[in-house]
Structure 1
Amino acid sequence: MEFDEGPVPGHDQPTRERVARSILVNGPSTAAALAERLDLTPAAVRRHLDQLLEEGAVELREPRSQAHRGRGRPAKLFALTEAGRDRFVQQYDDLAAQALRFLAETGGDEAVREFANRRAAFIEQRFDGVRQEHPELGAAEILAKIFTDEGYAASVRELLPINGQSVGEQLCQQHCPVSHVAHEFPQLCEAETEAISRVLGRHVQRLATIAHGDGVCTTCIPSTPIEKKERVRS
């Protein structure tokens, strides 16, 4: 247990980053939930949250009404802002972008594409293993777990049904650890989308990406798998 003894120069930053990262991984959280999750005192968490609010790294949100039960005023949620997400990746962006620029200059677009494919290989490599470990999860939920384990903070949302029938799901990534580099090299996003399509055996479509200024990466996964057909070559 960490005891709150007031600010200590050079001491608070690692704990503050733990608080921010916990929100990143687990989504908008109350101060009480953060204190329990990180084994900190409520006073310590509140101090770090106040500083993160002042820095613009987190913002307050009202809880969903249906999520609150019981008496009393519902506790507010602390959520990461765009600037708060950026702090986790900016320190590596320049180096990664420089490396990919060098790769593009020396090996061309094909080399960048090959790198992107190798990077996205974790999706196919882990899919069957996670499915065996968690048979209760649907395909989209398996992908969400894989991406979350890789730092994407992913979740699944069902698309609004048409005529009472489900038309599919959305894979939503609240964070992208390569978003700034992917803005310059969209091959990274394209390779991920293609890998998702292969493991699911159906066409999927990226509707939004953090790399291009959207608040969340969203991939539409239709309910109907694509038919497997032999390709006829002339």
Structure 2
Amino acid sequence: MTSLQPVSTKDDILQYLLKEGEASAQTLAESLGVSAQAIRRHLKDLTAEALIEHRAVQSGMGRPNYLYQLSRKGRDRFPAQYDEFAISLLDTLADTVGHDQVSTILQKQWERKAQEYRDRMGEGSIEERVDRLVNLRKREGYMAEWHQVESDGDRCATGPCYMITEYNCAISHIAENFPSVCGHELEMFQIALPDCSVQRTHWLVQGEHRCGYLVQAQP
């Protein structure tokens, strides 16, 4: 007989916040029967993992109280059928209007997403906008980061350049069935950063362990 994997206190915290919406450290300690000190340690870890968020609530003249809730990444830890629904919907569209029309629809969707990124990134230097773009991608479930690349006279001729790296694909199940979804990501970044050139340097679809995009100011 296979034994069930034990549920950790961290899992209990995530499940409690999923059901209740938000809670203080003290409420979590009392509800889960765990010491306040242990709860705060787990909350610190979960915050570092970007699975929960918190907001300060002032009560009287003392120190503010913090209320914790699931982040989008935290919610994505729980079973959902979003991918299956999206794939089924795209399959139905392909059967109804054809694959070419579905590709056109997906391209329009990426153009719309790129404009949304552009609006939310706002004004600022290339570095500031790259940082905002990466943070937007993180909120959507991508394990993303960026770093500056010095001019090397080759790929980064004008410098400075910025490398955006994504180690996972938040829509991988959809991409397996509709590969053109990934192909539009490069176009999306180019639209979101209109004064830059964007080059794909690595691609998960081609068996590499990450997707990479080199961003540099247009000469």
Q: Return the TM-score normalized by structure 2.
A: 0.54
Whether 2:122 is the aligned partner of 1:131: answer yes
1:182 positional shift: 0.9
Q: CA–CA distance in 1 between the matches of 2:133 and 2:185? A: 11
Which residue number in structure 2 is paired with residue 177 of structure 1? 170
| Counterpart position of 2:190 | 197
* Alpha-carbon distance in 2 for matches of 1:224, 1:44: 41
Q: Distance in 2 between matches of 1:44 and 1:125?
A: 32
Paired letter, 1:130: M
Matched, 1:97 2:87: yes
For residues 163 and 15 of structure 2, the distance between their equivalents in structure 1, rounded to whole angstroms, comes to 29
Partner residue, 1:209: 203
Structure 1 runs not aligned, ≥5 long: 1-6, 19-38, 49-85, 227-234
* Residue 190 to residue 43, structure 1, CA distance change in 2 (3 Å): closer
3-state SS of paired residue (2:39): coil
Alpha-carbon distance in 1 for matches of 2:126, 2:159: 19
In 1: Cα distance, 2:213 partner to 2:80 partner: 24
Matches within 5 A, 1:114-125: 114-120=104-110, 121-125=112-116
Per the alignment, do residues 111 and 167 of structure 1 end up closer, same or farther by CA in structure 2, a change over 3 Å counting?
same
> Does residue 1:220 correspond to 2:214, yes or no?
yes
- Give the structure 2 partner of residue 108 of structure 1: 98
Report the Cα offset of residue 194 of structure 1: 0.8
Match 1:166 to one of 145, 154, 159: 159
In 1, the alpha carbon distance for the partners of 2:77 and 2:205 equals: 15
Larger relative strand fraction: 2
Q: Matched residues in 2 for 1:17 and 1:212: separation?
A: 37
CA offset at residue 114 of structure 1?
3.1
Distance 1:210 1:89 in 2: 24
> Match for 2:95: what amino acid?
E
Residue 210 of structure 1: how far off its partner (Å): 3.5
TM-score by length of 1: 0.52
Whether the 8 Å CA contact 1:89–1:177 is kept in 2: the answer is no
The answer (yes or no) to whether the contact 1:179–1:211 under 8 Å persists in 2 is: no
Q: CA RMSD in A?
A: 4.1
Structure 2 distance, partners of 1:169, 1:88, is: 34
| CA shift digits 1:37-76 (9 cap, x unpaired) | xx93437989x9xxxxxxxxxxxxxxxxxxxxxxxxxxxx
Instruction: Return closer, same or farther for 1:179/1:162 CA change in 2, 3 Å cut-off.
Output: same
Between the two proteins, the alignment pairs up a number of residues equal to 160
Instruction: Return the alpha-carbon distance in structure 1 between the equivalents of residues 213 and 79 of structure 2.
Output: 22
2: CA distance, partners of 1:88 / 1:213: 27
Is the CA contact 1:206–1:219 (under 8 Å) kept in the aligned structure 2?
yes
d(CA) in 1 for partners of 2:42, 2:187:
46
1:157 to 147, 161, 186: 147
Q: Secondary structure at the match of 2:122?
A: helix
Contact 2:114 2:191 in 1 (8 A): no
Q: Distance between the aligned counterparts of 2:81 and 2:98, measured in 1?
A: 26
Give the whole-Å Cα distance in 2 for the aligned partners of 1:125 and 1:11. Answer: 38
Against the structure 1 CA distance between its residues 198 and 8, is the aligned structure 2 distance closer, same or farther, given a 3 Å change threshold?
closer
* Contact 2:127-2:162 within 8 A present in 1 as well: no
Query: What CA distance in whole angstroms lies between the structure 2 residues aligned with 1:98 and 1:161?
Result: 46
What runs of 5+ residues in structure 2 fail to find an aligned partner?
17-37, 47-75
Q: Aligned equivalents of 2:106 and 2:161: distance in 1?
A: 27
